[in-house]
Amino acid sequence: MARIVMKFGGTSVADLERIRTAAARVKREVEAGRQVAVVVSAMAGVTNQLVDWVRQLDPLHDAREYDAVVATGEQVTSGLMAIALQAIGVPARSWAGWQLPIHTDAMHGKARITGIERAAIDARFAQGMVAVVAGFQGIGPDNRITTLGRGGSDTSAVAVAAAIGAERCDIYTDVDGVYTADPRIVERAQKLERISYEEMFELASLGSKVLQPRSVEIAMNHRVRLAVLSSFKDVPGTLICNEDEIVEHHVVSGIAHARDEAKITVVKVADRPGIAASLFGPLADAGINVDMIVQNISPDGSSTDMTFTIGRADLDRALVVLNNARDEIGFTELRPDNKVAKVSVVGVGMRSHAGVALTMFRTLAAERINIQLITTSEIKVSVLIDEKYLELAVRALHTAYGLDG
């Protein structure tokens, strides 16, 4: 019998009426003869409230207690969903992460799933029941509740799909699919019928908020077909699948952007081996992820400037960390800038088409937008620009790559 996973995000279970609507969708799939595992997020706003309480009590809170508090949001929804299903005649039961269990590593607050025990779900499927699983959580090697970090319910859903051998994982959300760019910025953005795992992973990593990157990574590794669908409109969504299942390829599939970037230039660092390690080691120890890095050529050969980007929320902390390590690193000045944004073009077609980056640079130049940093990979080009040109850049690139609908 065909198995699917249906995942409902926070806005899709925001109140009892929406939970009932979601339950009715599940019933439809059950009546179509499918075995269904449902993965739910917390009701919209609940996680924020819980996180806020924890932070107010202690900004440097114990991550294990944070997890115990915050994981309750999904537990509530999973129980309510099971009850809503039973109320319309669909036998169902719920599991919290620890119960199934969903095993994770010990990184409380941003744990990674290490394994899911499927026996309980298989047993309930055999009894004709729907399995409802609380997303975003698991249990760590310390036998304590863990959470997977923001957006983690997507990852829970894909991991459950992989574990139970589901033929598809449907992500129900408040948008109706993956677009060539954010439709709030680009009016002529088009919904993609299909997109490859690799491209979706890049888009998600580069600022598209439709899916958590880790969920796409697991889907890619386990070849789980992912669909992004609207909870509110009955329209086709976007299928994330193998590249070879996609017939027509554009060179560029989408334009991603990320606003919450900050840049730090470290002025006059000694130009000697090991300097990058002495600079980025303390940041890594502080849990601050560095994204783009550029080392300028030093004019006098003895010192150099290093520029890199981090998440804007980490800027203040990064400056403290670097200033504390100043003697060890050796620099004259830190120049922070929190008014920067990252724009990226993504497409597997780049592999076989030269000149994709050049089109990007020419387009931005024509709009008189200065490029501050550049990074590339096999299927993407990212540039850092002044935040105020962000919308202009995304629109111009969307047109330049022929994506306008």
Contact set with a copy of itself (CB under 8 A): 16, 19-20, 50, 53-54, 56-58, 61-62, 64-66, 68-69, 72, 75-76, 78-80, 82-84, 86-87, 93-94, 96, 98-99, 143-145
Query: CB-wise, 53 or 236, nearer to a copy of itself?
Result: 53
Q: Are strands 137-139 and 113-116 parallel, antiparallel or unpaired?
A: unpaired
Q: Which of 153, 86, 152 is nearest to 124 (CA)?
A: 86
Q: Nearest 5°: CA angle at 115, between 63 and 311?
A: 45
Separation of alpha carbons 69 and 324, rounded Å: 33
Residue 88: CB minimum distance to a copy of itself, A: 9
Query: CB-wise, 42 or 256, nearer to a copy of itself?
Result: 42
Residue 75: CB minimum distance to a copy of itself, A: 5
> Residue with structure tokens 């606003």?
259
Residue 134: CB minimum distance to a copy of itself, A: 9
Residue 129: CB minimum distance to a copy of itself, A: 12
Query: CB-wise, 61 or 110, nearer to a copy of itself?
Result: 61
- Strand segments (E) across 101-175: 102-104, 113-116, 130-134, 137-139, 145-147, 168-173
Query: CB-wise, 11 or 147, nearer to a copy of itself?
Result: 147
- What one-character-per-residue DSSP string does 16-53 give? HHHHHHHHHHHHHHHHTT-EEEEEE-PPTTHHHHHHHH
Tokens of residue 122, six digits: 């298989």
Cβ atoms of 209 and 359 within 8 Å: the answer is: no
Query: CB-wise, 37 or 169, nearer to a copy of itself?
Result: 37
Alpha-carbon distances, residue 348 vs 107, 225, 250 (angstroms): 33, 18, 8
Residue 133: CB minimum distance to a copy of itself, A: 12
Residue 125: CB minimum distance to a copy of itself, A: 18
Query: CB-wise, 82 or 159, nearer to a copy of itself?
Result: 82
Cβ atoms of 231 and 11 within 8 Å: the answer is: yes
Residue 74: CB minimum distance to a copy of itself, A: 10
109, burial (CB in 10 Å: exposed 0-12, middle 13-18, buried 19+): middle
Tokens of residue 29, six digits: 């799939």
Q: Which helix (H) or strand (E) holds 365?
A: helix 356-366
Query: CB-wise, 136 or 308, nearer to a copy of itself?
Result: 136
* DSSP 8-class letter at 288: P
Query: CB-wise, 144 or 222, nearer to a copy of itself?
Result: 144
* DSSP 8-class letter at 129: P
Residue 128: CB minimum distance to a copy of itself, A: 16
Residue 45: CB minimum distance to a copy of itself, A: 13
Query: CB-wise, 60 or 354, nearer to a copy of itself?
Result: 60
